[in-house]
Amino acid sequence: MAEDSGAEKTEQPTPKKLQDAAEKGQIARSKDLGTAFVLIGSAAALLVFGKMLAMAVLTIGQRMLRLDEKDIFETNSMFTAWGDAGGELIMPLIGIFSLILIAAFLGNTLLGGFNLSWQAAGPKASKMDPLKGLKRMFGLQALVELGKSFLKVAVVVGVAFFLLKLFFMDIMALSLMSEPNNIESALYFLGWLFLGLCASTSLIAIVDAPYQKWNHVRQLKMSLQEIKDEHKNSEGSPEIKARIRRTQMQMSMKRMMQQVPTADVIVTNPTHYAVALKYDQGKFRAPVVVAKGVDDIAMHIRKIANGHKIPVIESPALARSIYYTTKLDHPIPEQLFAAVAQVLAYVFQLRLYRKGKGSRPKNLAKELPIPDEFKH
């Protein structure tokens, strides 16, 4: 891996790379986009609730500056006045702050989506490294941010000059108006001027948001070797997977061989195939294959069967048919019921005969009733 550390990163980041970066808090974010949304949301809130806020301020001013005999001699009049002021301001302020909160949430999640990362919130020693701090201050990203700052100032100053020139006469006319019309008009002009200035920041955000997304992907780009290593780590190396498969096969083989002593009969080929069948009338609807194998495994099944005195019946066609059509620990198909029934009947009669409880059974038929589609 040392020789690949300087490999050129030309490939797009994989979904796993993007997910790992998001878990660390590394997602595309545009501060200018969030700022533009907050400012425009604030201006819109001022336009929507500005009149209500102006009327509340006017009512509070009239209430605070007007005294009567009752207010002079009432010791709680000041607290009552503050309560009235709060009641007047609460609704417009709730509306304004609600719009600002919604705008802030949209502006900060529109690019990159909502992301909560505990790793990003945790302390990092690298952030306290002065050398890395200097690198961030004088790096390419810092130059880009400096350029954007100059651009912001130029755009905002230009838009402010244009708006002041456009509304100059209307603003000067406010001094000739009486209240409450002058307050409403002042807030109206203030709201539109503020909205115009805030809208100018969206010009920066329109440029910054695509740049931040491109820069985020650029920083996460991967080399071909990194993609190969990630695939190997996620899927597992071939050597480890092969070892796991061997271990699983060994464990499965061990469990299968442990079931051979419970079988009622072993049907063989006679040397290449061996199938162990178990039939419990109270438990199984049909005989079940508890073990099967070919060549060395078949020989091992026969060896265990001989050691436990389990009947071994030679029926090449039936052994091959059961081996290829029945899964381990599954009942045999219905098409083989008749053939297997003859084998089990012979085995059970032979078992009784050996116990001295019956006559010797007739030899098993060489040709058992096996359908052509089940012959292998």
What is the rounded distance in angstroms from the CA atom of residue 353 to the CA atom of residue 34?
A: 92
- Is 103:40 a contact under the CB 8 Å cutoff? yes
Q: Provide the CB-side half-sphere exposure for 53 (13 A, CA).
A: 17
pLDDT given at position 327: 86
Residue 277's φ and ψ, nearest 5 degrees, are -115, 145
pLDDT given at position 204: 81
- Is 224:8 a contact under the CB 8 Å cutoff? no
- Is 252:34 a contact under the CB 8 Å cutoff? no
Nearest-5° Cα angle at 354, 353 to 360: 35
Measured over the CA atoms of residue 129, residue 130, residue 136 and residue 139, the dihedral's sign is: negative
The model carries a pTM of 0.46
H helical segments located in 9-74: 15-23, 31-65, 69-73
User: Considering the domain 256-374, what is its CATH architecture?
Assistant: 3-Layer(aba) Sandwich (3.40)
H helical segments located in 127-180: 130-138, 140-172
- Is 192:164 a contact under the CB 8 Å cutoff? no
Please choose, from the candidates 13, 16, 33, the residue with its C-alpha nearest in 3D space to the C-alpha of residue 212: 33
pLDDT given at position 2: 41
Q: What are the per-10-residue average pLDDT scores of the chain (376 residues)?
A: 57 81 78 85 83 78 68 64 75 88 87 67 60 65 77 83 81 70 71 80 83 84 80 67 75 80 84 85 78 86 85 86 86 85 83 76 77 79
User: The tokens of 372 are what?
Assistant: 């052509």
User: The tokens of 340 are what?
Assistant: 């297997």
What is the rounded distance in angstroms from the CA atom of residue 22 to the CA atom of residue 17?
A: 9
**Domains of the chain, residue spans:** 27-219, 256-374
Strands, E assignment, the chain: 265-268, 273-278, 288-294, 312-314
What is the rounded distance in angstroms from the CA atom of residue 264 to the CA atom of residue 291?
A: 11
Residue with tokens 């702050």: 97
**Dihedral, 213, 216, 218, 221 alpha carbons, nearest 10:** -120
